[in-house]
Amino acid sequence: MQETAYAKINLALHVRRRREDGYHELETLFAFVDGGDTLSAKPADSDRVTTLGEFAGGIDNPFDNLVAKALSGLPRTGGLDITLEKVLPVAAGLGGGSADVGAVFRLVEALHGLPDDWHERAAKLGADVPCCVRSETVIGRGTGTELEPLDSDLVGTPVLLVNPRVPLSTGPVFKAWDGHDRGALPQESAKEIALAGRNDLEAPAFKLCPAIVQVLDALKADNPCKADNPWLARMSGSGATCFALYDTLEARDAARERLNTVHPDWWTLSGKLR
């Protein structure tokens, strides 16, 4: 069996307050791109995890990473031999590890079903994990684990992901947030929320990783034909990946070709919103 670990992006991310438990109260609009890491699984006597791909070296020991932890935390009969092809950069604001866990949950669901408390089990593995299990556009509240369904009017929207190949850990970005509540997430359609929303972690992330500013400037840059200008470009999560949304596939592809020429050292991925 095979599953895609769909890249997660935060179309908007509002940080409301620091909590006494050390976490932050969030309001965010999760969305997913139709591309990402690939997990292949086959029955085995015991659980095994093998990692391949460009970014395989950036994750923990395969026997102690989130995929292995997800396997050990789900009741099953028999083991699974999983090969993870790591396409998404690590510490990139794309929920890469959480997306991998979400794919594991779907693999186990197809073979054995999921326990009734799967949401709680997922949340213990990470705040982004519950939304990654279904990989659908939803509103996240609390630490991101309280999910509200939303009929998305953005399904099929062309999207371009760009990362300067600079890892940025989540903890330091949240720690550098200024603590100012800039208001709630709008109560609108997915597109209206994305347009009217913001990412409150951009300012602290910019200070820690100035390359993000270069990425956003390049995505928003005016071009002579203006054919590949996005209608929205923003940092995802705690960075350093940025996303750009386009009206047409041609505009998205033209933008990617331009960026790959001007910044061949940057990582890019093109797709559509699920």
Close Cβ partners of 118 (under 8 Å, ≥ 6 residues apart)? 74, 105, 133
| C-alpha to C-alpha distance for 85 and 94, rounded to whole angstroms | 16
The residues annotated with a catalytic role in the active site are 8, 128
Same domain, 185 and 136: no
Q: How confident is the model at residue 63 (pLDDT cuts 50, 70, 90)?
A: very low
Q: Which of 114, 149, 184 is the last residue of a domain?
A: 149
Q: Measuring CA to CA, how many Å separate 207 from each of 8, 33, 181, 236?
A: 23, 27, 19, 16
Q: What would the pLDDT profile of 232-271 be if each residue is shown by its tens digit?
A: 999 999 999 999 999 999 999 999 999 999 999 999 999 9
Mean pLDDT within 50-68: 77
Range of the domain at 81: 2-149
240: which DSSP letter? S
Same domain, 139 and 167: no
Q: Measuring CA to CA, how many Å separate 16 from each of 20, 177, 182?
A: 13, 11, 7
Determine whether 117 is exposed, middle or buried from the number of CB atoms within 10 Å of its CB (0-12, 13-18, 19+): exposed
Same domain, 65 and 171: no
Same domain, 189 and 108: no
Question: Roughly how many angstroms between the first and final C-alpha of the chain, as a whole number?
Answer: 21
| C-alpha to C-alpha distance for 72 and 95, rounded to whole angstroms | 20
| C-alpha to C-alpha distance for 149 and 159, rounded to whole angstroms | 21
> Does pTM surpass 0.85?
yes
CA-closest candidate to residue 173, choices 123, 97, 241: 241
CATH number, position 187: 3.30.70.890
Same domain, 88 and 138: yes
Q: What would the pLDDT profile of 173-227 be if each residue is shown by its tens digit?
A: 999 999 999 999 999 999 999 999 999 999 999 999 999 999 999 998 765 556 6
